[in-house]
């Protein structure tokens, strides 16, 4: 029996003798099946061809990303806190070096994931580090590999640890979540955004989409709601899902102004 991983999104499926016929995540309009067709891999093959690169973003915050690129190629982030370490978002590859580094940092107390595109091999990470995975209840239909370590949370916010809070913004997915880290070194406040809030090239603006690969926008009411949900929180910095998506100042203002411009254009303005 093999745990098959989708090559396009990295999602792991229940053990089977043969690959699944399709990937539920990629069949949805918010992801895509490559023109070459659905294909699969498994962890041993992934380990032979890839590794995870680590980078210290600021004191207490690491990012890790698979190289060469695999699947969506998002970044995951590890936050170190006095209450324990948190992995924000997940990547498919869990190699020996990553295991050793995280164990040397004290392991993980929790994993939290922004939306279903980054569920990947979350069950394997939870097993390795014996910790819960927090997913928003609104996205439970996208769990394709059930596990006892998956915990569903509800509502608009949930405090994981002191200084680390999950905030449901919706948008890209109904349960689309960001993490507020308010105990960063300079106390400016950090939002770990996944691609619920998408940082644009130059990092001076952000955007929001229902489907990124199919370029389908969010309706005005959802952008308005997303912006209203995040504005009560204090933060200056935003770290997005991909390399170079780092807003280091004025993050809250950038979201507000970008949301306003987005709604203006959708409403027929210029």
Which DSSP string do the residues of 9-29 spell out, in sequence order? T--B---BSS--S--HHHHST
For 214-266, what is each residue's pLDDT tens digit?
Answer: 999 999 999 999 999 999 999 999 999 999 999 999 999 999 999 999 999 99
Residue 186's pLDDT is 87
CA nearest to 188, candidates 56, 58, 55: 58
Whole-prediction pTM:
0.96
Q: How many domains does the chain have?
A: 1
C-alpha atoms less than 13 angstroms from C-alpha of 113 in its C-beta half-sphere = 30
Q: Using the structure block, give the residue that is written with the tokens 């809070």.
A: 165
pLDDT at 270 over 80: no
State percent of the chain over pLDDT 90.
96
Q: 235 with 251: CB under 8 angstroms?
A: yes
Structural tokens at position 156: 């608009």
Q: What is the CATH number of the domain that holds 194?
A: 3.60.15.10
Domain span at residue 229 reads 5-266
For 208: left if phi > 0, alpha if psi spans -120 to 50, otherwise beta; the answer is beta
Q: 212 with 168: CB under 8 angstroms?
A: no
Burial tier of 251 (Cβ tally within 10 Å: 0-12, 13-18, 19+): buried
For 169-227, what is each residue's pLDDT tens digit?
Answer: 999 999 999 999 998 878 899 999 999 999 999 999 999 999 999 999 999 999 999 99
* Distance (Å) of CA 128 to CA 111, 132, 136, 221, 262: 12, 11, 22, 41, 42
């Amino acid at each position: 029996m093999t745990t098959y991983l989708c090559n396009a999104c990295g999602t792991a499926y229940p053990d089977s003798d043969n690959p699944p016929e399709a990937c539920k995540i990629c069949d949805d309009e918010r992801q895509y099946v490559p023109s070459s067709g659905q294909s699969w891999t498994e962890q041993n093959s992934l380990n032979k061809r890839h590794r995870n690169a680590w980078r210290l973003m600021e004191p207490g915050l690491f990012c890790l990303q698979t190289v060469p690129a695999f699947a969506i190629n998002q970044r995951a982030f590890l936050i170190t806190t006095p209450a324990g370490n948190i992995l924000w978002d997940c990547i498919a590859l869990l190699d020996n070096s990553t295991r050793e580094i995280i164990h040397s940092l004290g392991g993980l107390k929790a994993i939290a994931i922004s939306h279903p595109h980054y569920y990947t091999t979350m069950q394997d990470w939870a097993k390795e580090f014996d910790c819960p995975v927090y997913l928003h209840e609104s996205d439970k239909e996208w769990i394709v590999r059930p596990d006892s370590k998956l915990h569903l949370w509800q509502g608009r916010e949930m405090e994981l640890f002191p200084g680390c809070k999950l905030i449901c913004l919706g948008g890209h997915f109904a349960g689309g979540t960001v993490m507020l880290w308010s105990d960063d070194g300079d106390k400016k406040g950090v939002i770990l955004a996944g691609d619920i809030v998408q940082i644009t090239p130059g990092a001076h603006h952000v955007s929001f989409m229902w489907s990124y690969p199919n370029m389908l926008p969010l309706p005005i009411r959802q952008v308005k709601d997303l912006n209203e949900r995040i504005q009560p929180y204090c933060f200056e910095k935003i770290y997005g899902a991909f390399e170079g998506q780092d807003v280091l100042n004025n993050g809250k203002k950038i979201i507000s102004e970008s949301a306003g411009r987005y709604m203006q254009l959708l409403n027929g303005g210029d």
